[in-house]
Amino acid sequence: MLEMYLFVNPTCTKCISAEKDVTKVATALQQKVRIKFIPVFELSTVSEGLTGNLDAYHLTLDYKAALFQGCKKGRSFLTELQEALLIKKQTYSEELVWQIAQNNQLDLQMFKTDRNSELCEKALQSDQQLSREMGVSNHDCLVLFDCATADKGIRIQDIEYSKLFELCSRLETNKKPQAPANSHLHIL
């Protein structure tokens, strides 16, 4: 089994592409893959286009609150919210968040409680700690573990489908991964 930790800024269009590539690779592989999308919220990395850092922070908390109702629902919620904000250029608002939460069949009362809870804030802080522990300094970064060898992870910056698929295929066939020239691949 492979474990993938994709560190994303939910307000970054480049991260949407990375999310799609990682999901596509996971689907294409024959072995089981577990993906965790970890929001990295840093004021210095918030993309332009939203109404400010506060919206990005709340968007990240909204995602964490949605995850409390299941990973699939949380991912679907984030994907739809990102599409609304970054592709359709809608404005982040309570109404938009509620509509997307409802579209994804979240328990609205629970979602409202969770997004304002200390537990949600602690989950976000835990994600930030995880990013520091794994040496992630920027969003759009993937840390990959082959659970069969679990002693070392591979950190990849600037994710591209073909390179990630090749790397994972090598791991799947128990071949040692090789970093291509000019690669942003680092063995942890």
Total domain count, the chain = 1
pLDDT in tens, 2-53: 999 999 888 888 888 899 999 999 999 988 999 999 988 654 444 444 444 4
Let me know if residue 98 belongs to a domain. yes
pLDDT score of 76 more than 90: yes
**Residue 187 covered by a domain:** no
65 falls within a domain: yes
Q: Is residue 123 part of a domain?
A: yes
Residues spanned by the domain of 128: 2-174
Residue 182: the pLDDT is 43
Q: Return the pLDDT at 40.
A: 83
Residue 184 confidence (pLDDT) = 54
Asked whether residue 183 is assigned to any structural domain, the reply reads no
Q: Is residue 138 part of a domain?
A: yes
Quick: pLDDT tens for 139-158.
789 999 888 776 678 899 88
Is 94 buried (19+), middle (13-18) or exposed (0-12) by CB count in 10 A? exposed
Return the H-helix or E-strand segment holding 99: helix 94-103
Identify each DSSP E strand in the chain by its residue range. 2-8, 33-39, 141-146, 153-157, 185-187
Strand pairing report for 2-8 and 33-39: parallel
Residue 182 lies in a domain: no
Average pLDDT of 74-85?
94
Q: Is residue 188 part of a domain?
A: no
CATH number for the domain harbouring residue 6: 3.40.30.10
